[in-house]
Structure 1
């Protein structure tokens, strides 16, 4: 829905160099020429490409992360990049036929070229005129573009999620570093039998640390130090 207008403008600009006559083609002129509805030409083929791409990419990425995790379940930055790049190979290549149809629908047909009225019409004409192999044109180029693109995208997302993560559900992102031990919760209460006051405050601060990833100053009250000294003696 959001990328189809950008796709059709991009394609029109990329083939503009083949047109030697007429006014200069720009993004603004393409949008004016197509209009609002024209910007969604080939949207069905875009759905046929992008939805299966995501359905293939993210499960392969999730399994690749598990395979590249170390013995502690942690996945480093380079392994995240590798998992994203590996997942892009089947996802980008297997949806190439839909990408070919989308491009044929969105490119501006010149005199003498075949025109298409829709996805089914485009599929049938390509199959009859060029054969099945035409649907796989540019598959290697798509892999070389999408694999690094989504590898960098996912490693950036994963690392930002770890660095700026706010934990509201008690779970860390898959493959992230183990949660450090809370420092305040490790402090003993002044009186082990005391159920309020300092013990209650300790639990409250520990919860804040766990939920929001904060690190509050470590301190010991004089009562705690005295209690520990008395018990040790």
Structure 2
């Protein structure tokens, strides 16, 4: 999205209103860039000592814009993913009929699995862009102009299989991850017991959404490390892994089981504010769109009801 200051201010406002996670992407993307850099860096010649050093190095070597490499991909896919996730989860809850924590898990898992169709190519482009020009303020040789160009070039070289690299690991991560996501949010909102007229409803929604995001990432983070490594594999022209099992085997043999925590600090720092904003915004929109009198009584998002 290209903004021309005042001329496009209305479009920017509309974007943020229609896509509650857009602001979260802007705030959270630098943490995601750090996460990916830490996950895939070579153990033999590590560039970064930890989360803070990675932030510091990227800003010093590549400027602050280095933290926002690859942001075009999640910004383009964000609206579609949110629509799929909350739409599928809502329809699944209607089919399951009973609003229970268990059904929230299954509905969330279904939503997570279906949105992988968009999520996997989006994250592939994001990862490749985040790694392009590592340590260079002005990259001497840019392989990809932007996220769309990245996907087009991968498709031209490797076809659909290349564009969907990492799909299996994405499914393994997203299916239970979104189940835990909606389950955690449901359990927390029930425990907090807020009502639409509760003066502390918004802080409770923010807390529940943030903690749901953290729980979701913790439940599947090791898979995310493998996914990032598989999607980054071959960037330098040499493939290191023949598949998921080979990636796990090589990673553990060379770096031990702590490899599965690479970039976790950055991820959790990002997870709370991003998911707090997303869940709270979606919930409030649904509550006030239906009228406060008809809003959910225990402040669950309940996207199962139509807008």
What TM-score does the superposition give when structure 1 sets the normalisation length?
Answer: 0.66
- Residue 34 of structure 1 aligns with which residue? 154
**What is the SS of the residue equivalent to 2:133?**
helix
- CA–CA distance in structure 1, aligned partners of residues 129 and 233 of structure 2: 10
Number of residue pairs aligned between Structure 1 and Structure 2: 174
- CA–CA distance in structure 2, aligned partners of residues 174 and 37 of structure 1: 46
Higher helix content, 1 or 2: 2
Structure 1 residues 71 and 157, CA gap change in structure 2 (3 angstroms):
closer
> RMSD over aligned Cα, in angstroms?
2.8
Matched, 1:109 2:109: no
- CA–CA distance in structure 2, aligned partners of residues 154 and 61 of structure 1: 9
Structure 1 residues 4 and 164, CA gap change in structure 2 (3 angstroms):
same
- CA–CA distance in structure 2, aligned partners of residues 70 and 43 of structure 1: 38
- Residue 56 of structure 1 aligns with which residue? 180
Structure 1 unaligned regions, length at least 5: 177-233
Greater RCO (Cα-Cα under 8 Å, separation 6 or more): 2
Does the aligned pair in 2 maintain the 1:66–1:73 contact within 8 Å?
no
Structure 2 unaligned regions, length at least 5: 1-116, 300-307
Larger radius of gyration: 1
- State the 1:108 CA deviation: 4.2
- Residue 4 of structure 1 aligns with which residue? 120
- CA–CA distance in structure 1, aligned partners of residues 253 and 274 of structure 2: 34
Matched, 1:66 2:190: yes
- Residue 161 of structure 1 aligns with which residue? 286
- Residue 150 of structure 1 aligns with which residue? 275
- CA–CA distance in structure 1, aligned partners of residues 279 and 168 of structure 2: 26
Q: Which runs of 4+ in 1 moved over 6 A?
A: none
What TM-score does the superposition give when structure 2 sets the normalisation length?
Answer: 0.51
- Residue 258 of structure 2 aligns with which residue? 133
